[in-house]
């Protein structure tokens, strides 16, 4: 397919190749060859005809740009493709040419070709998800006890662990890989219905022919033609869209944590990566930028698929054609985001010291909830909450740490002093100790994610 320089910026050459003109035309020809062989096996056309047709089902024999131009005039790429295939077969066997595309229709060949191209696209997504998930798993395991600020509503909230945060990035990707496979198992099916979905021309042989074509192309046999029943197909596209959203969330967090004022994470640099044409000091998070830009395009393409579902009667007018144009865009964006984030996390720099600096810069206020919880056992929750509320305001106003202010308040209250353990109070303000709840949850979550990843890695549904 032809993409602009700006599209290329947000995707990968491999995904472009999966949907390019040559790949789609070759998939269309693979359908025609399989159809001819299946019909010959069922006695519907001569074996010699099937051999002659299959012998010229090679996209390199055809002027693909000319086919694309003719397809615009004809209203379907299949029409000039079948015409040229018929003409080419006739050069070698005029009788065989009579059997080209017999009993099929334009939507059969185009939908099946797009299914074949999509299977390759799903292989690329599956491989990319495997690699990025492996990087995130390693990050999570390495940083289970690394303190980092958790932020809610864009404001510092409490201390969590980087490992817990990374597990939160990882989990949606493992789920996406699982659900893409599940949706593909339903959606990657042969399209073969003939003019109105009944395979009428093939008579009683229609089901057998469909089974043979599906087997050769390694596709599921559909219960019936799905010319205007697009539900399973669109569900697969929507799973790709959800993946795009999850990648956008990951890119957002990476970009925010890489901000100069935060500087907790940094993408790889060097060889001009992340530089500025005007400011030599800059280290831009280009992977996060590419992934975010790709993800931002996803909702519109997903909405377009849904908008195209109201297809008329047995064959759609305009909506099917719009769906065809929108479909590759979801995959182009998703793989572009995957590849960009894979580059980022493949060489990610984690600044533990800066994470601690950012925690300490808040003068202990992020430990206020934990301190209130500890004091609640001594003086009750309402009084503890009120005391910490007052002290956090003083800490902010005076630029003092909360812990010494709290110790002063405890020393000034004999009843409170008698019920507070200094060592336990110190633990409340220890950033590493504060990661314990997050660490426990992350360890449990990672155990389940490792098992899910191993099960996914054991099978390869999109490979030959």
Tokens of 290: 């590419």
Select from 362, 360, 361, 376 the least CA-distant residue to 431: 360
Distance, in Å, from the CA atom of 141 to the CA atom of 38, rounded to the nearest integer, reads 52
Cα dist from 223 to 65, 76, 117, 192, 316, whole Å: 35, 25, 21, 10, 19
CB contact at 8 A, 46 and 97: no
> Is 315 an annotated catalytic residue?
yes
CB contact at 8 A, 3 and 80: no
Residue keyed to tokens 């009750």:
380
Catalytic residue among 130, 283, 296, 315: 315
Which residues touch 33 (CB under 8 Å, ≥6 apart)? 53, 54, 57
Distance, in Å, from the CA atom of 447 to the CA atom of 458, rounded to the nearest integer, reads 17
Select from 184, 67, 76 the least CA-distant residue to 120: 184
Tokens of 440: 């426990």
Distance, in Å, from the CA atom of 40 to the CA atom of 43, rounded to the nearest integer, reads 5
Neighbours of 335 (CB within 10 A): 27
Catalytic residue among 276, 352, 394, 440: 276
Distance, in Å, from the CA atom of 266 to the CA atom of 95, rounded to the nearest integer, reads 66
Residue 282 burial (C-beta neighbours within 10 Å; 0-12, 13-18, 19+)? exposed
Q: Count of alpha carbons within 13 Å of 254, Cβ hemisphere only?
A: 31
Angle subtended by helix axes 47-55 and 78-92, to nearest 10:
110
Measured at the CA of 98, the angle between CA 93 and CA 101, to 5 degrees, comes to 115
| CA 43, chain centre distance (Å) | 45
Q: Please give the biggest Cα pair distance in the chain.
A: 107
> Is 276 an annotated catalytic residue?
yes
Neighbours of 276 (CB within 10 A): 10
Distance, in Å, from the CA atom of 462 to the CA atom of 121, rounded to the nearest integer, reads 9
Active site residues: 276, 315
């Amino acid at each position: 397919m032809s993409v602009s320089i700006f599209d290329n910026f947000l995707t990968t050459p491999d995904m472009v190749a999966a949907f390019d003109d040559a790949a789609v035309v070759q998939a269309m020809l693979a359908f025609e060859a399989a159809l001819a062989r299946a019909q010959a096996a069922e006695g519907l056309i001569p074996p010699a005809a099937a051999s002659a047709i299959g012998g010229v089902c090679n996209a390199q024999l055809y002027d693909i740009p000319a086919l694309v131009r003719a397809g615009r005039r004809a209203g379907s790429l299949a029409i000039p493709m079948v015409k040229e295939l018929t003409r080419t077969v006739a050069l070698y066997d005029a009788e065989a040419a009579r059997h080209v595309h017999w009993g099929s229709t334009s939507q059969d060949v185009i939908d099946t070709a797009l299914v074949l191209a999509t299977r390759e696209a799903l292989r690329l997504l599956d491989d990319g998800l495997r690699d990025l998930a492996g990087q995130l798993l390693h990050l999570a395991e390495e940083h289970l006890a690394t303190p980092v600020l958790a932020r809610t509503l864009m404001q510092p909230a409490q201390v969590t662990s980087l490992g817990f945060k990374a597990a939160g990035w990882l989990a949606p990707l493992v789920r996406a890989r699982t659900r893409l496979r599940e949706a593909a198992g339903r959606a990657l099916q042969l399209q073969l219905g003939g003019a109105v979905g009944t395979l009428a021309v093939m008579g009683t042989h229609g089901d057998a022919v469909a089974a043979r074509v599906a087997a050769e192309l390694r596709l599921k046999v559909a219960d019936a033609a799905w010319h205007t029943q697009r539900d399973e197909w669109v569900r697969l596209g929507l799973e790709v869209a959800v993946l795009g959203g999850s990648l956008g969330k990951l890119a957002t967090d990476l970009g925010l944590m890489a901000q100069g004022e935060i500087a907790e994470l940094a993408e790889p640099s060097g060889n001009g990566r992340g530089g500025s044409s005007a400011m030599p000091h800059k280290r831009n998070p280009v992977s996060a930028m590419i992934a975010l830009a790709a993800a931002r395009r996803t909702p519109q393409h997903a909405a377009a698929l849904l908008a195209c579902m109201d297809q008329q009667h047995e064959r759609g007018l305009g909506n099917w054609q719009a769906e065809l144009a929108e479909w590759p865009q979801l995959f182009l964006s998703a793989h572009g985001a995957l590849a960009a984030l894979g580059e980022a996390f493949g060489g990610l720099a984690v600044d533990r010291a800066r994470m601690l600096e950012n925690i300490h810069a808040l003068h202990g206020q992020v430990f206020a909830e934990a301190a209130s919880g500890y004091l609640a056992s001594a003086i009750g929750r309402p009084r503890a909450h009120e005391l910490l509320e007052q002290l956090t305001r003083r800490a902010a106003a005076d630029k003092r740490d909360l812990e010494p202010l709290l110790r002063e308040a405890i020393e000034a209250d004999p009843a409170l002093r008698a019920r507070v353990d200094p060592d336990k109070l110190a633990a409340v303000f220890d950033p590493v100790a504060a990661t314990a709840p997050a660490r426990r949850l992350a360890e449990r979550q990672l155990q389940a994610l490792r098992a899910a990843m191993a099960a996914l890695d054991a099978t390869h549904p999109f490979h030959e």
